[in-house]
Structures are given as C-alpha cells and as structure tokens.
Amino acid sequence: MVFGFDCLLCLIAAWVALALRLGEWPHDLHALLILTATTLLFWTIIAWPTGLYRNLIRFSGARASGRLFYACAMLGIPLTIIFGFIQIDGVPRTIAVLHPIIFFLLMLFMRLSLRFVVSDYLHLARGRTEERRRLLIYGAGRGGQQLANSLRQEPHLLLVGYIDDDERLSNQQLDGITVWHSSILDSVLEERRVNEVVLAIPSALRVRRREIVEALQARKIRVRMLPGIGQLIDGHFAVNDIRDVQVEDLLGRDAVAPNELLMGRSLLSKNVLVTGAGGSIGSELCRQIIHSRPKRLILVEQSEYFLYAIESELRRLALAEGCELELIPELADVADKDSVFRIFRRWQPETVYHAAAYKHVPLVESNPIAGMRNNIFSTLYCALAAEAVGVRRFILVSTDKAVRPTNVMGASKRVCELILQARAQEQDKTLFTMVRFGNVLGSSGSVVPLFKQQIAAGGPVTITHKDVTRYFMTIPEASQLVIQAGGMAEGGEVFVLDMGQPVLIRDLAETMVRLSGLTVRDAATPEGDVEIIEVGLRPGEKLYEELLIGDNPAPTVHSRIMQAREAVHPWNSLSDILEGLADRLRQGDVSQALSILHKLVPEYHRPTHKAAAPNLSI
C-alpha cells in the first residue's frame, strides 16, 4: 500500500518539478510520463534493497527519515546521468536534482501524517477499554525527551507535560508538549490531574532527588524514575524499564569518581584473589576488579551456589568488556588451614582481598564458636599463607562494629585487625591493610531487604528501637573505596571510609513505606496502611555505630578515606593467645573462648539492656 502511495507521489513530484522549472503547468504528457517511469524504475532498484518498505509506518522517526533521504539522494545519481548528460526531449537537466527533493518531501509528509493518524487511532481504540494514566515527566533534558518519544506508543499512558528546574525552559514546548517550571508544581499537578511523575534526571544529586520525591509523596503522587544514565546515553531503554524509586536512590552520597591510579595500582595485569567472592561485598569487589583488567582472578567461596552465580556473571561481564583474564573458581572454606595454603601455593596471588566473614550479628551471637573460628582463623591462615607465597598486598574488609564492640561478630573482626597489624610489624614483604566501614545498602542480612519483605506482606515493619542510627553506603561505592584504600597501603594501616551522615532507622522505614505507595499507620494517621513497631534491641546490638577507636584520624590522598591511629598488639603475645583460643574452639568451650576474646579486645563488652528475640528485625 505504501509503495502504491509512493508511485502516486512520484507522478505528483514530476508534475510539480516540471511546473517549477518551466514556470507553467506542463502540457507535454509524453515528457511527464518518461520522467515518472524512469524515476520509478530506479526508485524500485534503490528502495527495495535498502529495506525502506519493511519499516512500520506508525514507528517512523528520525532514523527512518534519514534512510529515506539517503535513498532519494542515491536516486539523483542515475537521473543526473540520464537527463543531464544523455538528455531527453522536453525534460530539462535540472529536473534530475529538483525531482528527488520534491519526491522526498512528499514521501516524508505522507509517512509522518500516517504515523500520527495510525497512532491516534490505536490510542482511541485501546483507550476505550482502559483508563489512561496521566503522566508528568520531571526533567526536560535528553532522558525526558527519549521517554516522551517512547510514550507515544503506549495507549494506556498520556503525557501531560514536563517539569524542569531551568527557568529558561518555562512555558516553552518540546515537540508540542509544554514545559513548566518546578515552582508551580502544585498547580500543575492539580490542574492536569496528574496520576504519576517520572523522574528523568539521572545525573541529579541524591539530595535533590530526595527533595523531589518527598515533595511528591506528600501529595500522594506515585513517583518512578528512568534507568541509569549509562542506558540513557546508549539509548537502550523502553517504557517498561521505568522503575519505582528505591531507597538506594535517596540514601547515601553522590559517588566521587574513582582515582584510576589507585584502582589499578594493585590490580592491573596481576593475579588477584578474593575470599568470600560470592557475598555482597566480595561479588562487587570482583565486578570492580574486572574493570581494572587483572591477569587472573581467583574466586574463593564456600557456598557452591554463590560461587557458580558469581563466576557465571563475571564471565559474561568480562566478555562484554573485552577483558581477557583467567577466572578461577575455588570452592573452599578459608577457615581450613590446609585448603588456604593449597590455594595460595597453587595460584601465587599478588593481591588478596579478604572479604569472607560471618557478619550477621544475632546469628554470630547465637553461634560464637562458628563465628570466631570463621572470622578470626580464616584471617590468620590467609595472612600467613600470603606471607608464605609472597603476596604483595593483603586487604581486609573490616566493619564499624569492630570499634568498641558489643557483640561477638564485632569483637572477632577487631581481632582480625589486630592480627594484620601485628604481622605488618613483623615483616615488610606483604603489605597488610584494613578497611573499616559501616552498613551497605542491599547487602545480605541488611535491613533494607527485610523492610521490603515486611512492607510487601502488609506489615508490620519491625525496628529494634526508635533511636537506632546506622551509617549507610552503596555497595559499588564501598567496593571502589576498598580497592583505592588498598592501593594506598604501605603496611599496617587501618583505613576508615567516610560514611557520611548516620540515618535514623525509623526514618528509613517510613521512607520505604511511602516509596511503596503506602502510608504509615500511627496515632496521627490510624487509617494508614503499614504500622511500624519497636521490638527491642537484639543481643549485642548498639543504638549507634562508631568508626574510630581513637581520635583525630589522619587524612589521606582520597577525600573519603581516612587513616585511624590505634594501638597495636605485638605478635609474640598475640600468637600465644590465639593458640589458646583455637584450643578452646576445638573443644567447644564457649565460656573460655569468650573470656579469651575479651582478653584480646578489652573494650569488648555486652550491653546491659534487655534484648529481643534475634529473628524479628535487622
């Protein structure tokens, strides 16, 4: 049908071109027919192979128009040869240029007209069976415009306009859609009866995103957002990629671009080993490490499934990035000395990231023997094996719970730090360093996944105490900073990551409820959807976490990495105590093991508050 239309347009173009050239309507039908027939012959030869008639008209856009222009330009070549050099009676030579231009404009007009007619018809036809949601795009930049183009094909969505913070765009139009300034957001939402707002500002600071989301939530407007900026740059997103705002989009800080020198110093073309490679931090460390193109990456993990999952993912990532490296999966328990030494001797790593640990406070509190064995002695054996094979850099992933710990997990991680500090004093062949930070958003055992499950079940959302605060950081940012801190290592340092401002856990819970499109049920709003209740602090839990044992941390070359100044245990006395602890653990003597742990970490003490059952909240 489209080709038939084009044949008719070719005749009209020939008639108009001759009229423009001659200054009068043509009377010589012979010349008109020769021009039309010649043009259609070559148009068929050019258009069919280029796939012009395989395009769906209702999806025609800039790319289809460009291909149409290219085909018309190609058409001008044979027409110039025939009518310019050979010459046909009654057909002027300039027609070879004039006709393709007019033909292109007519075809372009016809396609765009059909596109809008067909789209409007489909919208009306489908709109009769379902109510269309009225949508507002926040952000009139490239992302917002790409989204608007995609929305034209969605009959159940109606774009009513844009909102933008740029005053220069106020009351302007983008492809017929009005842009309003954010200062009149309230009136726009009311007058246009907006049901949903999509944030199309992927490069905006987290603080600004949080302000916008909180303002819209107060008006009970659903808020969603576009995918990451990388997809927008590539143009690889569709309407189905629009997602709900996650708490990770609002918490934390805006990432600082990593220092590539520090990132690559301990990774580029090196043998790198990661313990706990299938865990939340370990797996993200592996992803970041691949970007720095090591020669070999050894993945050590005791969970068969997690090891399989991270190896499969990393192979796909390496292939996508064109990174040629050897991936080695090692299924092993790093608290087993023989396995550790076997792996280190076989693969001879140059850089080691020790992320393997039991980190869930209530579970380790209930299972102190397993927690101390896994955390303390995996670190000891990995450190000794690293020295034995000549590892250059050994980086321990530590935790803020190691500072004045009130639980076994935190105290055991402090012992891990003491081990590496002591070994750093004993030798200088292996650079031992520790990186301490707080909670990461979305990790296994994190409060965020638990709150999501409780909200999905209709509540209640359980918090341990209304005054509990925690530091939060995104997993990618934490992993990048760990790698960069490792690049600074000179031996024995305890690096502390700048975690930003602590977050009140109750505020976090309320934010997550509102992001789910629900309301908090409390004394002020008894008709709310989800209740938030306190269940009491768990065994070993603090109201707030600390990052430093001492005061006055030293700055480093990175603005978000500090160096702590803390006391060190001499290795001779430490090793004797560790031997006694190992013996108590083998015998299952919990009381004596905890006594030795307190001797190693004198600041370790259990809180005196009444704790709740360990399975109620994170």
Angle at which helix 95-127 crosses helix 29-47, to 10 degrees, equals 60
Q: Kind of pairing, strands 461-463 and 520-521?
A: unpaired
Q: Kind of pairing, strands 561-564 and 493-497?
A: antiparallel
Please identify which of the residues 359, 401, 413, 542 carries the catalytic annotation.
401
Instruction: Encode burial over 492-524: b for 16+ CB neighbours within 10 A, e otherwise.
Output: bbbbbbbbeeebebbebbbbbbbbbeebbbeee
Q: What sign has the CA pseudo-torsion 597, 598, 601, 604?
A: positive
Residues 331 and 341: their CA atoms lie apart, in Å, by 14
Tokens of 597: 């742990």
Tokens of 423: 């070994």
Residues 496 and 547: their CA atoms lie apart, in Å, by 7
Peptide bond into 460 cis (omega under 30): yes
Tokens of 390: 């000549």
Residues 518 and 529: their CA atoms lie apart, in Å, by 6
Tokens of 38: 């010649």
Q: Residue 62's CB: how many other CB atoms inside 10 A? A: 7
DSSP annotation string for 562-610: EEE------HHHHHHHHHHHHHHHHHT-HHHHHHHHHHH-TT-----SP
Q: Which residues contact 130 (CB under 8 A, 6 or more apart)?
A: 155, 156
The helix/strand/coil state of 140 is coil
599 included as an active-site residue: no
Residues 540 and 604: their CA atoms lie apart, in Å, by 10
Q: Which residues contact 81 (CB under 8 A, 6 or more apart)?
A: none
What positions carry a catalytic annotation?
A: 401
